[in-house]
Amino acid sequence: MKVLVTGGAGYIGSHTCIQLIKHGHTPVVIDNLCNSKAVVLDRIECVTGTRPAFMQGDVRDSSFLKRVFATHAVDSVIHFAGLKAVGESVEKPLKYYDTNVSGTLNLVREMQAANINSLIFSSSATVYGEPASVPIQEDFPTAATNPYGRSKLMAEECLRDFQHANPDWSITLLRYFNPVGAHDSGLLGEDPQGTPNNLLPFVAQVAVGRREKLGVFGNDYPTPDGTGVRDYIHVVDLADGHLAALDKLAYQAGIHVFNLGTGQGHSVLDMLHAFEAVAKRPIPYEIKPRRAGDIAECYADPACAKATLGWSAKKDLQTMVEDTWRWQSKNPNGYGG
């Protein structure tokens, strides 16, 4: 299949391009490079031997999208392009609604004009807000605790209404839990700009000497060691989840919703100790107050993805940490190094 990958130069998009190529698909990347670098395309070529077609531009720009669809006859679209920093979304909510909601609506409008009716959308476990229990199933109530989460929830709801009005469309909402890890070549990985918001990139930067110590946000949660528990999933497993959705559902009309997680929870200290063992060095940390908006525990029930897509996560915590460390130690300054 020829697949338009919006945000394909980003962390999850680039790994998905590699898996698409490996499985005989043809990705076409669009990205405005606001949170990524064009060198990612070189790395994809280095790993796969194929350089994806690339057009630089913004999903909010209708004339750009018209050009993209006029240039490439794509069968389906995977829509990763978006902004994801929770803290920034609180300070600049309109920026998040503009990119994550308006950008998605604009994309759908231009897809419709180009007669393409197959879409996979990057959603997030954040749409469950503070779940009443774990593991989380797809039919749990949704709620947003910050503008980023609300932008994902709004986009999901807009897509549901749109699919209802256009029943020949196939729209798949994939709710990711906590993506971590990197390509096992050490050539691609996560390259956060500025101070990392997420746990594993922060730990990796401490291990490589870019930061002094990790702040652990709270050790008084009702969890086995008091620190927050999350469902960390290897980015290549996550990428494979998109391939499974494409293979099974690209031509199945309907609105389809799946959790993409492992079903296993790990605490902050589990992650820290796993990283210390792999990097063979102590990782200094201090306990800090809880971070506003954080929840104690969040992990998926991944049964629905397994039953319908035949997909489940394969890579264990050791592999997630080893791959992260290989990427970080080979590229201490990310793609800019």
Active-site residue list: 148
Query: Is the preceding omega at residue 196 within 30 degrees of 0, hence cis?
Result: no
Q: Which does 60 bind (CB under 5 to 8 A by kind): ligand UFG, ligand NAD, none?
A: ligand NAD
Query: Which of 19, 21, 29, 36 is close enough to bind ligand NAD by CB under 6 A?
Result: 36
Q: Which is nearer to ligand NAD, 32 or 170 (CB)?
A: 32
b/e per residue, 300-310, with b = 16+ CB within 10 A? bbbebbeeebe
Q: Which does 13 bind (CB under 5 to 8 A by kind): ligand NAD, ligand UFG, none?
A: ligand NAD
Whether residue 259 contacts residue 238, with contact meaning beta carbons closer than 8 Å, is answered with no
Q: Which does 282 bind (CB under 5 to 8 A by kind): ligand NAD, ligand UFG, none?
A: none
- DSSP for residue 60: T
Query: Which of 230, 256, 266, 315 is close enough to bind ligand UFG by CB under 6 A?
Result: 230
Q: Which is nearer to ligand UFG, 117 or 122 (CB)?
A: 122
Q: Which is nearer to ligand UFG, 16 or 126 (CB)?
A: 126
Q: How far apart are CA 29 and CA 42, in angstroms?
A: 13
Query: Which of 19, 126, 151, 262 is close enough to bind ligand UFG by CB under 6 A?
Result: 126
Helical axes 268-279 vs 199-207, angle rounded to 10°: 30
Least Å distance, CB 253 to ligand UFG, is: 27
Whether residue 260 contacts residue 176, with contact meaning beta carbons closer than 8 Å, is answered with yes
- DSSP for residue 97: I
Task: Write out the binding residues for ligand NAD, residues 42-61 only, by CB under 6 A.
Answer: 58-60
Name the segment binding ligand UFG (CB under 6 A); options: 32-40, 101-109, 110-118, 213-221. 213-221
Least Å distance, CB 192 to ligand UFG, is: 11
Least Å distance, CB 68 to ligand UFG, is: 27
- Dihedral of CA atoms 198, 199, 201, 203 in degrees, nearest 10, equals 150
Cα-based angle 278, 192, 324 (whole degrees, multiple of 5): 20
Task: Write out the binding residues for ligand UFG, residues 260-289 only, by CB under 6 A.
Answer: 268
Residue type, 218: G
Tokens representing 328 are 């970080």
Least Å distance, CB 29 to ligand UFG, is: 22
Q: Is 93 exposed, middle or buried (0-12, 13-18, 19+ CB in 10 A)?
A: middle
Q: Which H or E run contains 150?
A: helix 147-165
Half-sphere exposure of 78 (CA within 13 A, CB side): 33
Q: Which is nearer to ligand UFG, 50 or 197 (CB)?
A: 197
Binding pattern for the stretch 152-181 against ligand NAD, x by CB under 6 A and - elsewhere = ------------------------x--x--
Whether residue 273 contacts residue 218, with contact meaning beta carbons closer than 8 Å, is answered with no
Footprint of ligand UFG on this chain (CB under 6 A)?
84, 86, 124-126, 176-178, 197-199, 202, 214-217, 228, 230, 268, 291, 294
Footprint of ligand NAD on this chain (CB under 6 A)?
7, 9-13, 31-36, 58-60, 80-84, 99, 103, 122, 124, 176, 179
